[in-house]
Structures are given as C-alpha cells and as structure tokens.
Chain A
C-alpha cells in the first residue's frame, strides 16, 4: 500500500480519531411524506432524530411501511426529505432550511442493497473496482484494493466471472466487498440478507460484523427480521408509522419495551389487560389481569401516576405445571409444535383466551387437549401504559 490510497486512508483515520465520540451520521427532525393512491398524504418519516457513532451498528427495525427504508434512502441521498437536517462525516449533506442537498455520490456513504445490485454487464472485479475509479484511485492501488476486498469475503478466484454466473450468497458477498472497498466512514444496509437462504444469511451476518470490526465504519442496518435485528444491533431502533418508538441496546428493548407494539414486535409477548392494580407496602405490585392475579416484584417509578393498562408477558415468563399444582389459572393445551430442542405451544384459558409462544423441553408431557396449570414468573413481566 502506497501513494494516494495510503494518504486517503491515513486522512480518513485521522478524521476518525479526531471525531472519536462524536457521530459519523447525524439526523435531526427528518420529515418526509408520501401520497397514497387517492391523494391522502401520509408521513413516511415523521420527525426522526438519530446519531450514529464510529464503529457502531444501529439497526432500524419495523413492520413494512414504517418508514425505515425511506429514512435510509434519505441518508444516502437517494430520496429527498421535506425538512430536517442530515450530516455525514461531519459535513452537512442535507438541510431543508439551508437548501443543502448533496447528491449521493458526494456523501461518502456506502450502501449494500437487498437485490445485490451487481451490474450484470461488468465482471466481479470491475464491479468492486468501480467505486475506486469514481474516487480516482490510481490503477495499481485499485488492483490491490480489489484483491484485498475480494479476499476478505473469500472470493478472490471469482474476479473474472460475471454476476449472472454466481449464486445468491456469492453475489451478496461481492456486494459486501464492493461496499467496503473504499474503506467508507459509513455504510447503510437495506435488508441485505432477505434474499439469501438461512445458512448463508447467518454466515453473512458474521462477515458484516467482522468487516465492521476491521474497517470501523458506522453502520445503519434496515431489517424486518427481529432475530437478525437483535443479533446485528449495537443499538436497536424500533420504528412505527415514521417515528422511532424506542431506541436502545437490544437487551434494553427486549427487557423493557415501552409499549405493546414494541413488546409484541421485538420478540413475542402475551399482552394481558390490567383490571385492578395495587402497590403493596413491600414495594411489590399486585395486579389483577384477565388471566388471574400476578405479583410484580418491582414497580415503575411513576406507578403512582396511574395509567398502566397492560402487562406484557414474555414466553419465558409463562410455564405449565400438572393439574393440582400451584399456579395462576387452569388452562387447556391447544396446539403443540415441535421445533428441535423444544416444543412451542399455545394454551386456552376458558373458551377463547389464547396465550401463545410458550416453550418447554422437547420431552414435555403436553398433548393437545391436556389440562394444565399456568405458572407465571414475575421477573419477565413488564407494565405498559399503551
């Protein structure tokens, strides 16, 4: 490595050192609407604030149509928001007031696409080389960089092949190499793994995280797969209707969802309706719900203000015991699904109150129609207002 490439790299890492702690990508009050068939105007991104630090991976998770892809495309410059500001690498790249709208090629944010987007008329080598040509990197260094990028995904030997000759997993690896070849400060990922099969998906998740370790870019990763989201995220942002409803580490989001939406969208939760609620002198909370009386060990600080209407129960909070043993309520096993090391089942309380997502060891005794007693572990319960 020598010459301009080295200079560029050193320059880049200088910036990184200088900006350590500050964010690579910063979004303030971003707003964009779209028009539905029929003329109704709907906000796609509704006042989003977001900061991403160097080396961090922020995952945007939400149902389809929640605005996560629009947000991502606005960051890169593929879509123009209506108001707000976006900064990338310490530079203002979009501002509605300042009339700034830097085109995508000048934002220095790399992108990995859902459908690979490898140009079919170029060889693998040319595909990976293209971003370097655009940055006017001299030829010998380009060669070296392409070789290194391909080696990092283990596909050096495919240099002269055309994308049409490769498998989906190989294509997506090439796409990864292409998005990393310039050692970018920031990379966005638009559901990059939704088109590859399960095994390759797991391998690629690891490769993306390893690349991030190596290059140190700030990553923004869009997905609607909650498992992938929790695996990939340093911070997880759950989006709904154009807004970020909760952002935090995956553990925080999983353990302390802020509302029913997050509780059911990230992981599985059974939502129980609160009928009566009392804080006891010991600090525990006694809640009468539609499935029976539960005792929570700790109360939220604002419990006195009231307004807690639901309890979210994670599957691990619920288990079954044989009839006659102590528990919250009597239930009937409805369905049993075998999934390898465990079985997953649903139970019915009375005629039609269903609880789902319960798991037990595979050798468990349950069969559909069996009577059982529901046991609740209060540690995995969360009180919710809405």
Chain B
C-alpha cells in the first residue's frame, strides 16, 4: 500500500520517520475481504462441523434405506403399519397436548407476577430458568419416582397416615407417578422453566408505558393484562408453545423412567428402545422413527423461526427503566406461596427424594430416619460406576472446552464475514431441529458400524456431544461475542493488530464471563446426557447417563439414588467453581463485579433457550 492512500496526517507522520502501519499480511481476498490465516482455520472448523453433522446421518440413511441400490420402502412400511409406533406417537401427542397448555398458563402467570406485580421475587426469575441445568431431566425423573411411587414413594408414605384421618385406607397411593397424570405432571414441571424464560423476557422487553398508558386511560390492572400485555406478547406465547412441543417431543429420560413401568411408551422411547433394548437391534425402525420425529420438530422449528422473526420486528419503543408495579393486595401472599411451592416441587423435592433414598439401606415402604452411607460406598465398589463417572467428567470437561472454542472461532468468523454468517449460523444450529434422537441414531449407524467402527468409544461420544450441543454453544457464545464486538475490535484493527491478535487480546478477555457461562451450560448438559449416551456408550465404555438407565433397569434403586446425587454434586461443584473463577478473571468481571455469576449463567441459558429445542432431556 502506498502512502498516497493514507490520511494526510498519517502521511505526514511517516514522512517524519514514524513507520507507516504494516500492510495487511494476507494477500488472499474472499468477496472483497481479506482472508487470512484466522479465516482459513475458522473455515476448516466450520466445514469439519458440517461434515460431522451431515455425514453420519447421510451415511445412516444410505446404509439403511438404500439397500443394494434401491430404496428400502420395507422399513417405512414396517414402521408406519406398526400399531406400537402409532401408539407411541399418540402417547407423545396426548401428553404434550395436556402438559403444554398448563405449562404455558403457569409460566405466563409467573412471568406476569414477577415482572409486573408486587408479588415479584428476585430469586424466582433468577433460579427458575436454570433449574433444568442444575437438576437434569434424568435426576428429576428418578427423584419423582422416589417421591411418588405408588407403593414406596416418600410423599405417599407421608400422606397415607394424614389421609387416614379422612378414612383413606390403602397400601398404595394416593399418588402414582407411573401414570398418565404423573407423566403429564413431570413434563409440565420440566417445561415450565423454558416457557417461563421466553415469556418473562418478552414481558420485560415490552415498553411498560404501553401498560401505563392503559392504566391512565382508565383500565384496571386485569383489563390491562387482558387487552394490552397479553396481546403484545402473543408472539412469545406462541413461540413458547412451539418450543415446549419441540422439547417435549424429544424428551427421553422422563418417559423411559416413569412411563415404562406403567406400559406407557412415547415416540422418543419407542425409537431409541428399538435399538437399545431389543435384540437384534432394529436399526431401520429407529432411523425411520427418528426421521419422523425430526420432521415433526423441524416443522415446528420452521414456524417458530417465522413467529419470532415477526416478533422481533414488532418490538417497538424504548425500554422504560421503571416498570410500574401492580399491587395485588391480599393476593400477593397467595401468589408468592404458589411460586415458592412450584420452586420446591421443581427443585428441592426431587433432590430430597434422591437424597433420602440414597441414605437408606434400601428403598422401602416405611419412613425411616436411620441413615447409612452404604449406598455411596457401593457406588465405588463396583468398578464400572466410578469408571462411568470419570468418563462422563472427562467428556464434559473436554467437550465443553472444545465446543466453546469452536463456537468462539465461528462467531469471530461470522463477525468478520457477514456474508457467510447465515450459512455458518445455519450449519452450527442445524442439530437443534434435527433433534438429539436423530443425531444419535445417525452416529450409531453412520459412525458406529464398519468401516469406521467407533461404536462404544470415547471419541464417538465426544464427537456426538459436540454436534448435539453446537447450537447451544453458538448461541451462548454469540451472545457474549455480540456484547464486545464492533467498535472495540475495529479499534484494535486500526491500531494495527492482526485478526488473530485482536481475537486473543481484545475479544477473548472481554468475552471471558460469557464464555464461562457457555462452558458451564455445555458441561452440565454433557455430564448428564442420556439420549445419545444410551445408544452410543457400551458396558466397556460407560458414561453417567448410560449407567443410570442401566442401574434403574436392574432395580438397584439405592445405588441409583447415590449415583445421581454424586453426579449432581459434581455438576454443581465444577459449574460453580468455573463460574466464580471465570467471573473474577474476565475483564468485564473486574469491571462489573456486582453482576453475579448466577446472572451470567442465566444470561447464557436464556440466550440458548430462546432459540432451541433443549437436547438434554
């Protein structure tokens, strides 16, 4: 570059002996933009991810559905004429049709109470959305099994004598979690945090002067809610409904634990068990079922994208910092009691159930206070249990790190090349609508068998986890990146830094708190992953999710409880430690200490949840 193109001042400077900025290192250009080392690496990473997402599925499809050069309609015929399949599909549908509206209603109520009334409680809006992260679906399902089993459920043992006063006299009940109402209840509890997050965010985002204008126009709080607030968040309500259907359709852990004993099988359980628990494995049934599920979720996802795109355009008006508060009067106590009850039901109770059974010599039908650590000891006496724990821990540690690095590189690349952003974004987020079930099925058929034969290895689990959580990683990291890109990195570039240097010295330090939150999100998901693990792990290479299902099916409930408690403790300890460290080390952490780590986690979880079917359920 010659001096003639420089600004006059710069030219004058170099004339006085100051060296002019070095010319850009790269000579390559891509659509008019410089294309350097960093971009090459980033492109390689993205292409590798694309291959990893598409190849197993394509291979699985060609292997199973394209036999000897002709289309294998036999598999489709078998599945679509099977009454088991349609039963499972109808079961999934019925559970969701019952659970989703309740979840949306309760979430909308909670969101309104917390965002607009004097019943608001800060910890509800902070903790509620991250409950699924702290207590994964599998632990929740097992916890509820212990709480509300028809015979030995902890709550039943407590309730029976109480109801005995009113003449209740039975060895079983009154609660039974292994039933339709039980399943619908746990699904609802599991879905509420996701729906709550979307609705609360929408409610927070609408300018509260819309509601104030209604109040000063003479409308009561109830009328304002009905005529102004709810219509304004209609897109979010619709989006939350679609999201709940998407998440709900792919939930595996809850129905496999709670539905199986009652003979209730959902589509996800049907699809996975066709390979997992039938010998010889019916890979073709699993694949066709998974594709059917992916089509269903993918369709919903498409509509969800359309709805939320419109919702984004509808967002008008500046944010008013002072939201006026609706005084609920005497109802305030009722509202708060309701919310606290829910928090207890969703988080404390299942954990208590796990802990209670873990500390008993065996799971029994009478209440007992003699506690023993025997079950915890037994976990360490059986070699495969610590092995599974160690494998899951190493997978989660490495998987979360690699996942975050990939997402960070992709974010930086998208920032530098906006033209490619939609493509890269689309690739890395595609596992969301494809569903965890279909991805796992693709991996077991496509990569597990010959010639690649990765089945049962550590590597196939890591690769599959990376694909499964690449959408969450990209969204969480993208949120962190969005806050620091723009002028700050441009300032670095005009100061003469290469893209790599800008990334390492400016973007990365500023992103540390956001990245740690993203890391924790991935770590928690990978540590307790069930769906893919149940297909991809093997008795020789067990992981936590696989082993928990295995113990459950063998009926060693005390040991299962102890194992689940240990995994939850590892999850919370590692996640908490990393968040605290990340927050004190990061540049923005130093600048803004008052923003707690929990808030960071919430931010990451929120941004990930806003767009996605959760894959770890």
Contact = CB atoms under 8 A, between A and B. Distances in A.
A23 interface: no
A117 B210 contact: yes
A318 B231 CA distance: 59
A102 to B, nearest CB: 11
A111 interface: yes
Interface stretch (A127-135, A235-243, A345-353): A127-135
Contact of A103 (B209, B220, B316): B220
Contacts of B318: 114-115
A80 B329 CA distance: 14
A73 B324 contact: yes
Interface in B206-235: 207, 209-210, 212-221, 223, 227-228, 231-232, 234
Contact of B217 (A80, A110, A114, A116): A110
A78 B320 CA distance: 13
A385 B365 CA distance: 84
Contacts of A104: 212, 215-216, 324
A80 B327 CA distance: 10
B215 A110 contact: no
A77 interface: yes
Contacts of B220: 103, 105
B314 interface: yes
Given A111-B212, A115-B209, A120-B314, A79 B232 contact: no
A178 B217 contact: yes
A116 B322 CA distance: 16
A182 B218 CA distance: 10
A42 to B, nearest CB: 15
Given A78-B212, A78-B324, A79-B324, A131 B217 contact: yes
Interface in A98-116: 101, 103-111, 113-116
A338 interface: no
A103 B216 CA distance: 9
Contacts of A305: none
B307 to A, nearest CB: 15
Interface string A364-376: 0000000000000
B27 interface: no
B252 to A, nearest CB: 39
A113 B320 CA distance: 11
A366 to B, nearest CB: 30
A219 to B, nearest CB: 14
B212 A103 contact: no
A101 B327 CA distance: 10
Contacts of A109: 216
Contacts of A113: 209, 212-213
B218 A103 contact: no
B317 interface: yes
A114 B209 contact: yes
A117 B219 contact: no
B594 interface: yes
Contacts of B210: 117, 119-120
B317 A115 contact: yes
B209 A131 contact: no
Contacts of A40: none
B212 to A, nearest CB: 5
Given A73-B322, A78-B324, A101-B327, A117 B215 contact: no
Contacts, number: 88
Contacts of B314: 120, 164
A33 to B, nearest CB: 14
A37 interface: yes
Interface in A312-350: none
Nearest to A164: B316
Contact of A119 (B216, B228, B320): B228
Interface centre among A37, A130, A164 (most CB of B within 10 A): A130
Interface in B96-135: none
Given A78-B212, A103-B215, A134-B217, A117 B317 contact: yes
A113 B215 CA distance: 12
A115 B320 contact: yes
A301 interface: no
A109 B212 CA distance: 12
Nearest to A175: B213
A110 B216 CA distance: 6
B218 A117 contact: no
Contact of A117 (B207, B221, B234): B207
Contacts of B232: 119-121
Given A119-B210, A134-B223, A105 B215 contact: yes
Interface in B304-353: 314, 316-318, 320, 322, 324, 327
Contacts of B594: 37
Nearest to B212: A78
B218 A131 contact: yes
A90 to B, nearest CB: 18
A117 B212 contact: yes
Contact of A120 (B219, B316, B320, B324): B316
Given A78-B324, A79-B322, A113-B212, A121 B231 contact: yes
Interface centre among B231, B234, B324, B327 (most CB of A within 10 A): B324
A76 interface: yes
Contacts of A119: 210, 213-214, 228, 231-232
Contacts of B217: 105, 110, 130-131, 134, 178, 182
A105 B228 contact: no
Contacts of A77: 215-216
Nearest to B211: A117
Given A115-B207, A117-B207, A117-B209, A130 B219 contact: yes
A119 B233 CA distance: 12
Contacts of B228: 119
A116 B219 CA distance: 18
Contacts of B324: 73, 78-79, 104
Interface centre among B213, B234, B318 (most CB of A within 10 A): B213
Contacts of B320: 115
A113 B218 CA distance: 15
- List the 4 closest pairs (A to B, CB-CB), nearest first: A134-B218, A131-B217, A117-B209, A117-B213
27 contacts: A37-B594, A76-B212, A78-B212, A79-B324, A80-B327, A103-B215, A104-B215, A105-B215, A105-B218, A105-B219, A110-B217, A113-B212, A115-B320, A116-B317, A117-B209, A117-B210, A118-B213, A119-B232, A120-B210, A120-B232, A121-B232, A130-B217, A131-B217, A131-B218, A135-B218, A163-B316, A178-B213
Interface of B: 207, 209-210, 212-221, 223, 227-228, 231-232, 234, 314, 316-318, 320, 322, 324, 327, 594
Interface of A: 37, 73, 76-80, 101, 103-111, 113-121, 130-131, 134-135, 163-164, 175, 178, 182
Given A104-B212, A104-B324, 19 more contacts: A73-B324, A78-B212, A79-B322, A103-B221, A105-B215, A105-B216, A105-B217, A110-B216, A111-B213, A114-B209, A117-B209, A117-B212, A119-B213, A130-B219, A131-B217, A131-B218, A134-B218, A175-B213, A178-B213
